[in-house]
Amino acid sequence: MEWTDQAVVLGVRRHGETSVIAELMTRERGRHLGLVQGGRSRLMRPVLQPGNSVTATWRARLEDHLGQYRIEGDSLRAAHLMESAHGIYALQVLTSHLRLLPERDAHKPLFETLNIVLDNLTEPDIAGELVVRFELALLNELGFGLDLAACAATGQRNNLVYVSPKTGRAVSHEAGQPWADKMLRLPSFLLESDIARLDGAPMDDIQAGFQLAAHFFDRHVHGPLGTQPPAARNSLLRAIDKALA
């Protein structure tokens, strides 16, 4: 069998003297591995860098086989991402998160979000916001999405400043004030639904967003699985803070 799909390179590992096993996030088939013959050649190594967008053709005798990839580069953005510390750490965070997904399970909305994030990671003023949005999108794909549209207590849609650490629902200032010390802060940039309209948030909002996402990852993913969050996450925050300063 054979198929062709758009994909983002997540990583490779050596296989034999000249080949690699490539791990891709594909649009139609999710996270998918395959053998790339000659993947360690000077021609292919720049194409198979994490973060690059490629067109991948996969072929195997049976669907459950590892199969082989033929890969052509589309957007070789990895070189630009590697030019900044926040780009490097953000890429490490994204690829680590995507490995939480089961193999060969399609997540088309997440794939589209991933490409938007990767295309804009070189901008330090919005990189943090984009990573937080990606993390919340991933939580949603895993079945643990947050509800930030209206206050959980009153139903109102304005003055939302908290998130319940138990339910993941937004809470207004008035309803949440008596329990403010137990609430998670809702950064204002998450109230903007259009990802294309991000124009840079203050560092304390970015930190609040990272804390918010981390809480629910620990509660629903890392805790039950006994795993750890990406080690690069704290380094990413420091790199963004330094770049903005």
DSSP labels, the chain: -EEEEEEEEEEEEEETTTEEEEEEEETTTEEEEEEETTTTSTTTTTTTSTT-EEEEEEE-SSTTS--EEEEEEEE--HHHHTTSHHHHHHHHHHHHHHTTSPBT---HHHHHHHHHHHHHTT-HHHHHHHHHHHHHHHHHHTT---B-SS-TTT---SSEEEE-TTT-BEEEHHHHGGGGGGSEE--GGGG---GGG-----HHHHHHHHHHHHHHHIIIIIHHHT----THHHHHHHHHHHHH-
The fourth-level CATH superfamily of domain 2-76 is: Nucleic acid-binding proteins (2.40.50.140)
Buried b (16+ CB within 10 A) or exposed e, 115-140: bebbeebbbbebbbbbbbbbbbbbbe
Considering the chain, tell me which residue range(s) the CATH 2.40.50.140 domain(s) occupy. Answer: 2-76
Structure token pair of residue 173: 């200032």
pLDDT score recorded for residue 148: 95
Enumerate residues 6+ apart whose C-beta is below 8 A from 42: none
pLDDT of residue 200: 77
The rounded distance, in Å, linking the Cα atoms of 164 and 149 is 13
- Would you tell me how many other CB atoms lie within 10 Å of the CB of residue 191? 14
Please give the pLDDT value at position 192: 75
pLDDT of residue 201: 85
Stated pTM of the model: 0.93
pLDDT averaged per 10 residues in sequence order, the chain, 245 residues: 97 95 98 97 97 97 94 96 95 97 95 95 91 96 96 94 97 95 95 67 94 98 94 96 89
Distance CA 42, CA 232 (A): 28
